[in-house]
Amino acid sequence: MDVKTKSLSKVLSVAQEAALEAGKMLLSHLRTDFRVSKKGRIDLVTEMDLKAEKIIVDRIRLDFPDHEILAEEGGKQTGSGPCRWIVDPLDGTTNYANGYRFFCVSIAVEWEGQLSLGVVYDPVTEELFVARKGEGATLNGQPIQVSIEDQLVDSLLCTGFSYDQTEIEKNLELFDRIIFHSRALRRDGSAALDLCYVACGRFDGFWELSLNCWDIAAGRLMVEEAGGRVTAFDGSPCTIYDPELLATNGKIHSKLMKLMKS
């Protein structure tokens, strides 16, 4: 086993442990009386976002004291070596704050700038999604694949609305156009989990306009490793640091792109 493979396998087990620990903590405090504050007009952060992030960062630091970590609430902690951790301790904060059971923990790792691992844990359903670059994606240990649906009219799609008013207006135009061409269109409120649902074939496609890398890093790898396609809305390549993303099973990708353009 080469150094990279060996290191990443240790990194993956730490990522899984951290996601499970944080996720279980989140579930145990769901619908309890935790503090909620506002980062913006409609952008919330709860006491549990911070607590979950601390659990994850402490767990990473136990084994990897010098790795770089980019976490939503705490920002960037510089480090040395090839790994960068990208952490969303609670994706779906609005849902969580309202006791709506659709949220997750999302952890991804880049190795020398290449997205290499993704772990997403939904503590409500006890579903653990794992993706390894070049090695596929799994759900609770079983390989997953995107759907085979190739007709938009028979597709179940999902989108998300950012906290930015202008972006909401732009996405309403897309929503309005696309809903009439699909079977149904959801807005579930956790981009990381939405992407995992594309990866395992529950959704046929997902898009959003204004995302951060911690929202999508793990989920994006999940879709790609499950055989799907991820691009910008016009089909051009995008990275996890670009705000917009279109993720599908691949078969409806160009049809959805065309609709978005029209």
- Interface contacts to ligand IPD, rule CB under 6 A: 88, 91-93, 160-162, 189-191, 208, 211, 215
131 binds, among Ca ion, ligand IPD, none (CB under 5 to 8 A by kind): none
75, HSE (Cβ side, Cα atoms, 13 Å): 1
Of residues 138 and 190, the one with the C-beta less far from ligand IPD: 190
CA angle 193, 197, 199 (to 5 degrees): 110
β-pairing, 83-91 with 68-71? parallel
122 binds, among Ca ion, ligand IPD, none (CB under 5 to 8 A by kind): none
Distance of CA 5 to the CA centre of its chain: 23
Least distance to Ca ion, CB of residue 241, Å? 15
Of residues 95 and 116, the one with the C-beta less far from ligand IPD: 95
Around Cβ 15, how many Cβ atoms within 10 Å?
26
92 binds, among Ca ion, ligand IPD, none (CB under 5 to 8 A by kind): ligand IPD
207 binds, among ligand IPD, Ca ion, none (CB under 5 to 8 A by kind): none
211 binds, among ligand IPD, Ca ion, none (CB under 5 to 8 A by kind): ligand IPD
Phi, psi of 18 (to 5 degrees): -65, -45
Q: In whole angstroms, what is the distance from residue 92 CA to residue 190 CA?
A: 4
The helix or strand, by DSSP H or E, that contains position 89, with its residue range, turns out to be: strand 83-91
Of residues 92 and 250, the one with the C-beta less far from ligand IPD: 92
Least distance to ligand IPD, CB of residue 151, Å? 26
Q: Which of 186, 244, 165 is nearest to 211 (CA)?
A: 244
Q: Give the binding site for Ca ion (CB under 5 A).
A: 72, 88, 90-91, 215
Residue recorded with tokens 């006890």: 126
Least distance to ligand IPD, CB of residue 87, Å? 11
Q: In whole angstroms, what is the distance from residue 119 CA to residue 109 CA?
A: 9
190 binds, among ligand IPD, Ca ion, none (CB under 5 to 8 A by kind): ligand IPD
Instruction: Dump strand ranges (E) for 133-236.
Output: 136-139, 142-143, 156-159, 184-186, 205-208, 229-231
Q: Which residue number places its CB atom closest to ligand IPD?
A: 160
Distance set, CA 65 to CA 7, 43, 217 (Å):
14, 31, 22
Least distance to Ca ion, CB of residue 97, Å? 11
Least distance to ligand IPD, CB of residue 88, Å? 5
110 is written with which tokens?
């880049």
Least distance to ligand IPD, CB of residue 5, Å? 31
156 binds, among ligand IPD, Ca ion, none (CB under 5 to 8 A by kind): none
Of residues 144 and 213, the one with the C-beta less far from ligand IPD: 213
Q: In whole angstroms, what is the distance from residue 167 CA to residue 152 CA?
A: 24
Least distance to ligand IPD, CB of residue 141, Å? 25
Of residues 160 and 227, the one with the C-beta less far from Ca ion: 160
